[in-house]
Chain A
Amino acid sequence: MQLQELIANSAALNSLPQEARDIRTNAMLSADDSTMQQFIDVLSNEAMQLEKINQDMASQTEEIGVLVAEAKQLEKQAERAISKEAESSERAGEEAQADALLKQLDEIAGK
């Protein structure tokens, strides 16, 4: 039962194609006690190391979270800046257009 669980959780075995994984699973579960114990040792070791890797990755979670939060803030700032810029550009464009129209009107009126 222990081996069955280890097999199910093994990243290595789960990396195999389904058919190959099933053959190996059956084979390992058919092994004699001594061999089965060795399979358990190997997979336990894998699980242990994988756990360590996962812990390392988990430790990065906080940093990534902070970074993401800051990135989000920056994103908002950027959005606001871009939006403001766009508004001002738009306003400037409108003003320029109005000026151009007034200028044309002045020219027409001056004629």
Chain B
Amino acid sequence: MKNSKFNLFHENRLVFMAEGARKAPEKSDVPSVKEADSQRDLGTEAARTEEKISHILKSLDGLKKPTAKTEKMKEQAIKIREKLNGLNEKREELTLQTLDKLNSTFDNNIQGFRIQVLKDVLSSSVQDIDRGNVDSLITAFALLKSDDSPLSIPNSGYSIQRRGHLLVLEHKGGWKNSTGEKMPKEEITFKVALVGDKWEIQGSEGKKLPEKFTPTQNPLTGAVEQKLESYKFYSSGQTKLNYEPKQKPASPSTPEAKVAKPKENVEKYDAVKVAECLKLIHEHTGAKREIPGELFKALQDFIKDIAKDSTKAFNQGDVNAYITRSKDGRSYRIATEMKGGPVVQYLEKGGSAIGNAVGKKAEYKLDPISNKIPSEDLKNGRISVKFEGSQPAPSTKPKTVDTNEPTPDPKLLRILKNQEGKVHEEARIAEGMKEWTKNLKKAVDQIVKSFEWLSKVKDLAKEIQQAKGCDWNQASKDAVRFKDWCENFDRSINLKTQTPQETITAINQGLNMLPGEVQTRYATKFKIEDGKSRLASLGKEVPSSAEVARGEVAPKPQKESGEVKGIKEAYDSMAKSFDLGKIDISNWPGTGKSVSELKLVLGIQDGNSHVMKDGKGNEFYFKVNGNTMELYIKNKGTKEFIKYALNENNGKRVVPTSEVGVAEKGGREKYDEKMEANFQLLLSKVKNLKKGEDISFKTKDGREFFINSLGKNRFQAIEMDINNNTLGEAKLSLKELANFRNMAQRIADKPNFKSANESNFAKIDKINLLKINDIQLMLAVKNLREIMQSPADKERLRTNFQDISEAHAEMSLAHTYSVSEDCSLTVSEKGIIKLTQKGIPTITYTPKKSNSAVA
């Protein structure tokens, strides 16, 4: 009969223990540390050994007659037990040490570790989204330190950042949402929130990621699709383990913002107002709303001390926000959160807030110069916030800026179009100047491009050799010199310091390197001369700053300048052919050339030519408007220019211009004795007009009048604007023409009269001048067919059309503009534009509210 207690010494169990001590335990058989304590009670390897030895000792102790042998055995068992205990302790210690070392390794390499983990997360996420990906993403989140700079994943296009409990994923190529629409921003933001006892990653609206976010192109795999949806994870007690990363997701109820609030700023801003402002920003839903200026100012006070490329947290009441200043310091990005509410919106460039998922944009009207709220808005206590539709994300890349000339700010004009709805004329002209110089620069660039043919220096040298009759070496040198000049041409342009005329001079200096014959031929061939002449024309149409300052906006004949050699040569050539004393108007100007040919030779489009002298000292210049050309001649010894109106088919002499006005500043409506004296002098000539003859004159402040004899002492008096468009007219007797004031008043009293300032056409013309000029510039270097083949040019044309069209449609005014000698632009009252050029099908532009197209 066996006693069961002796079964403990079964041989198999002892053997197992010995083998277990020799090799590492099998994974599945090895209990964890946590399990060890409980398993020890049941008999782990060590415990079993200990138990066995205890039993041996007990057995030995139980012997009634201990012998020396049993005593020795007992002693031996005790030693073994101690030794095994020591080894087990060592083993446990080794486990803890190993975990500590792994933690240290982890901590010491956290950055690389993060990158690898995140890379893995993002890489695996694009393959397939499953629970593992979600957990990885959460792990990644836990690895990130709050408010660190975005962590870039090398060669991936991704970066990831943690802002408090927000997780921001950025993909250089942008994202598409579940409906395939491109996201307005390059980044998507998740919120990590503790829901019950579970951690969740939610969408930026605080919902459980209903969206599917897809990077437009995945650089890691080349795959297009990426799904990031329904993230969840569980705390599961693992945070208690040694190996848990130190950073834990912040609870929404205890944002790290509280800790991060910089103490030194406490007195520099009004936290309550900042919170109110952020609330308003946060709560916008697409509807128009207003933010009080004082609140916005408080926000500005708060953000102004943020260093470049850093983030400042804000917490007040239930408002949490993280405000990041860009690397260049020019813009701010605000992420806001209300307790229990949605999370993110953005404020950029201190002026516009861009919503999150819905892509709304809120524009805060700021002074474009100071980038502050306009004082009147502050004074009134409110600023307007206008919300617009979806906007493309502003590029983070630095823009190429022409440092010579600041980009005209369209807001400037809008702001100056202030309370009374009046357009600030000076600002408009100033803006026009900026716009013009910008266009000029573009035109110059295009002209420079047209010089590319000059790489064929050899051909050019041949031309020069033939024209000059010089040797080949000299011709080559000239050709190379000219080519060098062309290549460096843009360096000679400095719009900031040069007047338009100086710029044109710079162009001429280059052209003058060529012999006249070559210059003319090449200029014509490559439209250099054409472009140059348009520039010259523009230079006259747009007043100089000094003229603007003086209020003189009317073009004046340009004085001859020694610098303008290129054009001067042409003029000299023309002047020599003139005998002003024998001009046959019907076959003017005696050269056999048509007006258009003369315009080309003279380098004139619309505007005035330079003043020239013929061989006898008589001075003359041309004024061109479309196909109409006027010749002004001042005979030697006289003071006045005589005007000749000329066109392709007819030319008639006009009574010499009399300047009857006074040049007093702002004296447009002023009237004085001197003016009247001049007017009376003029009337003496009017009396002698035969039926059908006319006389014109203008005042020194730019008003122009035209008196036409109707016969029988009846006259038609017409006032014209600077573009010779009728402002008003009146039929008057000679008696009614008694004095200038009376005449002007009679014209002005007519119901249809429009003052020069109020002239629809004058307004439209000012608006459209730049646009027409821009089209002229385009045509200076390309013909219409070429323009229509270039998407960029076509878009530029469309933009110009849109503005012109709107201006005309607004005022229900039709007009035909002469764009170039073979191109005209007709605008209907409804703003329909027809652009015609010889040999090219007519281009029709029909304005639409949006998505207009040139057809």
A27 touches B113 (CB 8 A): yes
**A38 — nearest CB in chain B belongs to which residue?**
B105
How far, in Å, is B708 (CB) from chain A's closest CB?
91
Task: Given A42-B101, A57-B84, verify A35-B33 contact (CB < 8 Å).
Answer: no
Complex alpha-carbon distance, A58 and B59, angstroms? 25
How far, in Å, is B139 (CB) from chain A's closest CB?
7
Task: Given A11-B30, A67-B73, verify A43-B98 contact (CB < 8 Å).
Answer: yes
Complex alpha-carbon distance, A36 and B115, angstroms? 13
Give which listed residue, A17, A46, A64, contacts B98 with CB less than 8 A: A46
Task: Given A11-B25, A78-B59, verify A72-B80 contact (CB < 8 Å).
Answer: no
Give which listed residue, B80, B108, B243, contacts A20 with CB less than 8 A: B243
Complex alpha-carbon distance, A78 and B17, angstroms? 25
Complex alpha-carbon distance, A17 and B30, angstroms? 11
A32 touches B109 (CB 8 A): yes
Q: Does A61 contact B (CB under 8 A)?
A: yes
How far, in Å, is A76 (CB) from chain B's closest CB?
10
B22 touches A61 (CB 8 A): yes
A11 touches B24 (CB 8 A): yes
A50 touches B76 (CB 8 A): no
Q: How many CB-defined contacts (below 8 Å) exist between A and B?
A: 160
A10 touches B98 (CB 8 A): yes
**B30 — nearest CB in chain A belongs to which residue?**
A14
Stretch at the interface among B88-96, B267-275, B397-405, B558-566: B88-96
Q: Does A102 contact B (CB under 8 A)?
A: no
Interface size class of B (residues with CB under 8 A): 35 or more
Which residues 475-527 of B have a CB within 8 angstroms of A?
none
Chain B, residues 126-138, CB within 8 Å of chain A (1/0): the string is 0000000001100
A64 touches B14 (CB 8 A): yes
Complex alpha-carbon distance, A30 and B132, angstroms? 14
A54 touches B21 (CB 8 A): yes
Complex alpha-carbon distance, A75 and B119, angstroms? 65
CB neighbours (8 Å) of B49 from chain A are 64
CB neighbours (8 Å) of B76 from chain A are 63, 67
Which residues 435-476 of B have a CB within 8 angstroms of A?
none
Q: Does B570 contact A (CB under 8 A)?
A: no
CB neighbours (8 Å) of B32 from chain A are 14-17
A53 touches B91 (CB 8 A): yes
Complex alpha-carbon distance, A46 and B105, angstroms? 14
Give which listed residue, A16, A31, A60, contacts B243 with CB less than 8 A: A16
Q: Does A105 contact B (CB under 8 A)?
A: no
Q: Does A104 contact B (CB under 8 A)?
A: no
Give which listed residue, A24, A38, A58, A67, contacts B56 with CB less than 8 A: A67
Q: Does A2 contact B (CB under 8 A)?
A: no
Complex alpha-carbon distance, A42 and B217, angstroms? 39
Complex alpha-carbon distance, A17 and B80, angstroms? 31
**A72 — nearest CB in chain B belongs to which residue?**
B9
CB neighbours (8 Å) of B135 from chain A are 23
A50 touches B59 (CB 8 A): no
Q: Does A68 contact B (CB under 8 A)?
A: yes
Q: Does A106 contact B (CB under 8 A)?
A: no
Complex alpha-carbon distance, A46 and B108, angstroms? 19
Chain B, residues 111-151, CB within 8 Å of chain A (1/0): the string is 01101110110000000000000011001000000000000
Q: Does B77 contact A (CB under 8 A)?
A: yes
Complex alpha-carbon distance, A64 and B234, angstroms? 48
CB neighbours (8 Å) of A54 from chain B are 21-24
**B31 — nearest CB in chain A belongs to which residue?**
A15
Give which listed residue, A32, A67, A79, contacts B116 with CB less than 8 A: A32
A residues near B, CB below 8 A? 8-17, 19-20, 23-24, 26-28, 30-32, 34-35, 38-39, 42-43, 45-47, 49-50, 53-54, 56-58, 60-61, 63-65, 67-68, 70-72, 74-75, 78-79
Query: Can you give 18 contacting A-B residue pairs, CB < 8 Å?
Result: A12-B96, A12-B99, A30-B113, A32-B113, A38-B105, A38-B108, A42-B98, A46-B94, A46-B97, A50-B24, A54-B22, A54-B24, A57-B21, A64-B18, A67-B77, A70-B73, A71-B73, A74-B73
B residues near A, CB below 8 A? 6, 9, 11, 14, 17-18, 21-25, 27, 30, 32-34, 36, 49, 56, 59-60, 63, 69-70, 73, 76-77, 80, 83-84, 87, 90-91, 94-99, 101-102, 105-106, 108-109, 112-113, 115-117, 119-120, 135-136, 139, 236, 238, 241, 243
**Given known contacts A14-B32, A65-B14, what 12 new A-B pairs fall within 8 Å (CB)?**
A11-B94, A12-B95, A15-B32, A20-B241, A30-B113, A31-B116, A42-B105, A57-B21, A61-B18, A65-B18, A67-B77, A74-B70
